[in-house]
Amino acid sequence: MNILAIDIGAYSVKFIEVRPERKNYVLVEKQEIILEEVKPHYPHITNLSDLQKEIISNYIQKKPNDIRVIMQMPNEMLTTRYLEIPGTSKRKTEQIIPFQLEENLPYSLNNAHFSSRINKKSNSFSVLSNITQFNVFKDFFGYFETKEAQPSIVTSEVSVMQAYVDHIRMNDTCCIIDLGHKTTKVYFVQNRQIVSNHTSYVAGNAINEVIARTYQISLENAIIYKHENAFMLNDEQLEEVSPEQKGFALLMKQVFNPLILDLKRWEIGHRVKFGTSIDKFYIFGGTSSINNIDNFIYYHTGIPVETLPPLLDLKNDYTAHDKNFYLAKMMAISQKAPSSIINFLTGKFQTASNAFISVHSAVFIWVRTTFIALLLILGLVGERFIFLQKQNADADKKIKALLNRGNLALSAPDRKAYDKNPNRVLNVLKKKNKIVKDEVSSILSSQSVNALRPLALLSKTINNNPKVNLEKFTSDGFEVKAVFSSLEPVELENMEKVLKGSGLPGLVVNYKPGQATLELQFEDK
């Protein structure tokens, strides 16, 4: 069963589909849909949330019914609580959680829907709980039920981040910063546990608006400028650049100052509450791609900054360091241990969940299955000794008669070796069979079709460019299709010009300036 992980963002919706393969996952497909680009196709939708849900439901409807879908609830619909409950009984802890949560909620627990992740300690339990209003979740999940595109798991970003911390065995006392489009999410990690999380509204969208307002350009052009040219400078670097660059750097500093102050304040709060200092900041998310942002944060906080270690578990993932897909990949990888993440499809919503079988039920089924398997094994062993011996003798007699046929051209020593070493005879026959197959292949080779010819033709047309990736290539012998991607749209624009002058038969290029993907098709003549 394939897994489809969906990261619902304010700038775009990311989709990653993976296929479980033994202990690994194989990347099947990934796609990012920019909300502003597709908004004109949904004129009847007026708000961001409905646009996100419509895009997701349309995408799921195109997938097989047995695909396992995981997505996160938007953060603005959730609140998070961290509890420390003494005791050694997990069942009693589960019974205590609702009473602990009710003390701090601004609304009645009867109107709430929550799910928790419980982590066992020596004499207590650490509990991570996410709470939403019942009617809010009912409307959110009901939308997908109406469209017959309901997910298997609805989780939260903080739960996915905790699953990531568990997966990579993060031992640092650190802070993970997700620099997104409308918000920046901050997670403090200690002893492999997220112990607090915060949100700042200093993010990519704030930069877009300031650039557009300051330089009096459209918001679309501001986004393009940010993606291609934005940078940060610390105070010492300001005197080493041109006046225009200095002006832009000061503008960026002005935008990010509130986030820097928040990070300092939250770090102090962590030290006071837990008695430990933060050793490192890890950054990811689309806005973390701004040039020199890591040095800027380090300069103003004194805490080293690194890019969050990428997930390398996916086979065929040739863009493992693409920061835009980190969260979607985390959701997909979390399914290696699905019990480790929060799932809101519980209680009244449990019947719609395709959740994994519980441990208790799994053990019960395993015992029954093992007992039945033992009975089958005993039956097969008995059949072998009682019924199959005569059949084996008859089969040996027939095989020896076949080996004596002249058309096999077996030597006398080879025929005699059958009783003691049948593998020797088998190897001789395999060699003879291979010779015949090779002769047949050589006869048919004149009619073979070189399926790689169109790819070779495309390679000669386009110069090698490490900044451009070939995401998809298909050829049916008549029509060739290819999809290229790049983090730098200007590279795709140059490729478009080269393709249009290439003279490829029936060439059609689909590309809009600023897009991260270019599609083309041509005829295979």
What's the per-residue H, E or C state across 73-96? CCHHHCEEEEEEEECCCHHHHHHH
Q: pLDDT band at 212, cuts 50/70/90? A: very high
pLDDT at 202 > cutoff 90: yes
Q: Which two tokens stand for residue 266?
A: 């939250």
3-state secondary structure 213-235: HHHCCCHHHHHHHHHHHCECCCH
Q: Mean pLDDT across the stretch 510-515?
A: 91
CATH 3.30.1360.100 positions along the chain are: 453-523
- The pLDDT score that the predictor gives to residue 281 is 97
pLDDT at 480 > cutoff 50: yes
Q: Was domain 1-72+79-155+337-356 assigned CATH 3.30.420.380? A: yes
Which residue's entry shows tokens 């004499």?
Answer: 123
Residue 231: beta bridge partners?
A: 291
pLDDT at 353 > cutoff 50: no
Homologous superfamily of 453-523: General secretion pathway protein M, EpsM (3.30.1360.100)
362 contacts 370 by C-beta, under 8 angstroms: no
Residue scoring higher pLDDT (14 or 357): 14
- The pLDDT score that the predictor gives to residue 356 is 46
Out of 205-209, 318-322, 380-384, 449-453, the most confident range is 205-209
Distance CA 456, CA 208 (A): 41
Backbone φ and ψ for 26, nearest 5 degrees, come out as -110, 125
Which residue's entry shows tokens 């739960």?
Answer: 159
- The pLDDT score that the predictor gives to residue 36 is 92
CATH 3.30.420.40 positions along the chain are: 169-309
Q: pLDDT band at 360, cuts 50/70/90? A: very low
pLDDT at 410 > cutoff 80: no
pLDDT at 256 > cutoff 50: yes
- The pLDDT score that the predictor gives to residue 352 is 46
Q: pLDDT band at 364, cuts 50/70/90? A: low
Count of helix runs (H) and strand runs (E) in the chain: 16, 18
The single-letter code of the amino acid at 288 is: S
For all residues of the chain together, what is the average pLDDT? 88
Q: pLDDT band at 389, cuts 50/70/90? A: confident
Q: Mean pLDDT across the stretch 211-230?
A: 93
- The pLDDT score that the predictor gives to residue 395 is 77
The span from the first CA to the last CA of the chain, in angstroms, equals 38
192 contacts 171 by C-beta, under 8 angstroms: yes
- The pLDDT score that the predictor gives to residue 359 is 40
Residue 206: its H or E element:
helix 204-215
- Where is average pLDDT lowest: 166-170, 434-438, 464-468, 497-501? 434-438
130 contacts 101 by C-beta, under 8 angstroms: no
Per-residue pLDDT of 41-60, as tens digits, reads 999 998 999 999 999 999 99
Task: Give the fold, CATH level 3, of 169-309.
Answer: Nucleotidyltransferase; domain 5 (3.30.420)
Q: pLDDT band at 393, cuts 50/70/90? A: confident
User: Which letter does DSSP use for residue 122 in this model?
Assistant: S
Residue scoring higher pLDDT (414 or 332): 332
pLDDT at 446 > cutoff 70: no
Task: Report if pTM > 0.75.
Answer: no
Per-residue pLDDT of 147-173, as tens digits, reads 999 999 999 999 999 999 999 999 899
pLDDT at 357 > cutoff 50: no
User: Which letter does DSSP use for residue 355 in this model?
Assistant: P
Q: Mean pLDDT across the stretch 244-271?
A: 96
Other beta carbons within 10 Å of 108 = 10
What is the CB-side half-sphere exposure of residue 200 using CA atoms within 13 A? 23
